[in-house]
Amino acid sequence: MSDLPRKAVTRTAKLAALPLGFAGRATWGLGKRIVGESAELVGRELQQRTADQLFKVLGELKGGAMKFGQALSVFESALPEEVAGPYRAALTKLQEAAPPMPTRTVHAVLEERLGKDWQELFLEFEEKPSAAASIGQVHHGVWHDGREVAVKVQYPGAGEALLSDLNQLSRFARLLGPLIPGMDIKPLIAELKDRVSEELDYGLEAQAQEAHAEEFTDDPDVVVPGVVHQCEQVLVTEWMDGIPLSEIIADGTPEQRDRAGQLLARFLFSGPARTGLLHADPHPGNFRLLPGGPAGDDDWRLGVLDFGTVDRLPGGLPTVIGDSLRMTLDGDAEAVYELLRAEGFVKDSIELDPSAVLDYLVPIIEPARVDEFTFTRGWMRSQAARVADPRSPAHQLGKQLNLPPAYLLIHRVTLSTIGVLCQLGATVRMRDELEEWLPGFVLEDVVDVEEESAAEA
Residues annotated as catalytic (active site), given as ranges: 281
> Is 212 within 8 Å of 277 (Cβ atoms)?
yes
Q: How far apart are CA 432 and CA 324, in angstroms?
A: 17
Q: Which of 177, 184, 73, 176 lies closest to 420, judged by CA?
A: 73
Contact call for residues 131 and 221 (beta carbons, < 8 A): no
Contacts of 414 (CB under 8 A, 6+ apart): 268
Q: Give, for 276, the enclosing helix (H) or strand (E).
A: none
Q: Are 400 and 357 in contact (CB under 8 A)?
A: no
Total length of the chain: 457
CA 153 to chain CA mean position, Å: 21
What count of Cα atoms within 13 Å lies in the side-chain half-sphere of residue 112? 14
What string of DSSP letters covers 64-79?
HHHHHHHHHHTTGGGS
Distance in angstroms (rounded) separating the CA atoms of residues 300 and 422: 19
The four Cα atoms 35, 36, 39, 41 give a dihedral, to 10 degrees, of -100
* Sign of the alpha-carbon torsion through 183, 169, 162, 136: positive
Nearest-angstrom CA–CA distance, 240 and 264:
17
Amino acid type, 169: L
CB 420 within 8 A of CB 318: no
